[in-house]
Structure 1
């Protein structure tokens, strides 16, 4: 195994994360671009922290999401950067976002439990879309008659919405004051505003990353 100078290591890590088509974890860096070198995990983390600081005042930032590290544009620049694309960002129905929010906040949860909270049936197309996008997956079956599937979010969901863990989801307690002033059946609508905001931001970031890779 060869040694590598800190300056070269920093360049290699920066380039690897930049050209990757998905977030890159420390383990993946060690198994791929750094496989020929002796690099302690602590040293690698230090280099990544230095890169993060280097990019803080710039238009592109190095951020950590669930699957690893990636470069993405600063949120505040999105109104202007969005003009680079003629097509509009994908829009998702309120029913889909309500379903996704329930899975995110109450996972693991069955389809029947989602329908019970929403008060309406969850269409098969919604569940199909969420699973095809790999935002949710079946993680088991509830031990009740019929053994319905239990759904939970995935690391792809976290990556897409620029989250490193579920703990970064807006705390439902923050909506308590607003929820008190509306009908209990509307409380869920307030809760769903948070994931909607994250959707817009993450979509824009994903578009920037896609254009950079091209």
Structure 2
């Protein structure tokens, strides 16, 4: 079985190398201006076709090895300046997004849209935000943050939507599962990193989150672990 798996991997690698040879990334037969233009079009095509943000590593596969991805992206952003959509940096990559000022127009059209964040209840959205701040965090810790139970159904719904994943087991008694946010969470809500989350102090002032509760729980868990 192991030998068959290795052979399959080797065949795939050979196929990828052949494709690399056949695909002209460098475009050395073109003058510099046309070469740059073709690279821009290639990058735009890949980003347009992708359902998820496209990473720098992915884009590097379709342009010359000495080509600056950042300069290509900058030129593409400038070209799209007058369009109703733009190129944005989210979740560690780039993605086409409709400009905010056209959101009402799109809603009025009632046309189905691709991607974006599904409709969440206010509580589900707040649970997501809490996981973003305190991850890895257990369901019990989330319940203490909100002062009411965060149900398994709520967690299952957020996991099913691709927003949450499993983190390491908690060091607390019973070693419960912890939860973390995913790259899809960042992408769906237009964030580059978790630093783009809403200001936690404002959420605490509004009584929506309690950072102190989680810190106390974590301190208690560390104390119990030391005693053992």
TM-score category (smaller protein): 0.7 to 0.9
Paired position in structure 2 for 1:188: 208
Q: 1:98 and 2:126 equivalent?
A: yes
Paired position in structure 1 for 2:174: 146
Task: Tell me the CA shift for residue 65 of structure 1.
Answer: 0.6
Q: 2:143 aligns with which of 111, 115, 136?
A: 115
Paired position in structure 2 for 1:127: 155
Task: Tell me the CA shift for residue 175 of structure 1.
Answer: 5.1
Q: Map 1:13-92 to 2 at 5 A.
A: 13-31=43-61, 34=62, 38-40=64-66, 43-85=68-110, 90-92=118-120
CA distance in 1, matches of 2:80, 2:202: 31
Q: How many residues align?
A: 178
CA distance in 2, matches of 1:26, 1:105: 27
Give yes or no for contact 2:59–2:69 (8 Å, CA) kept in 1: no
Paired position in structure 2 for 1:171: 199
The change in CA–CA distance for 1:110 and 1:23 in structure 2 (over 3 A counts) is: same
CA distance in 1, matches of 2:37, 2:179: 45
TM-score, reference length from structure 1: 0.74
The change in CA–CA distance for 1:90 and 1:70 in structure 2 (over 3 A counts) is: closer
Give yes or no for contact 2:77–2:86 (8 Å, CA) kept in 1: yes
Q: Deviations over 1:171-190 (max 9, x none)?
A: 223456xx2xxxxxx5117x
Question: Partner of 1:167: helix, strand, or coil?
Answer: helix
CA distance in 1, matches of 2:89, 2:162: 19
Task: Tell me the CA shift for residue 135 of structure 1.
Answer: 0.5
Between the two structures, name the one with larger relative contact order (CA 8 Å, sep ≥ 6): 1
CA distance in 1, matches of 2:46, 2:111: 29
167-176 or 135-144: which moved more? 167-176
Task: Tell me the CA shift for residue 168 of structure 1.
Answer: 1.0
Cα RMSD over matched residues? Answer: 2.5
Q: 1:8 and 2:38 equivalent?
A: yes
Task: Tell me the CA shift for residue 30 of structure 1.
Answer: 2.6
The change in CA–CA distance for 1:38 and 1:94 in structure 2 (over 3 A counts) is: closer
Task: Point out the structure with max Rg over C-alpha.
Answer: 2
Segments of 4+ moved more than 4 angstroms: 86-90
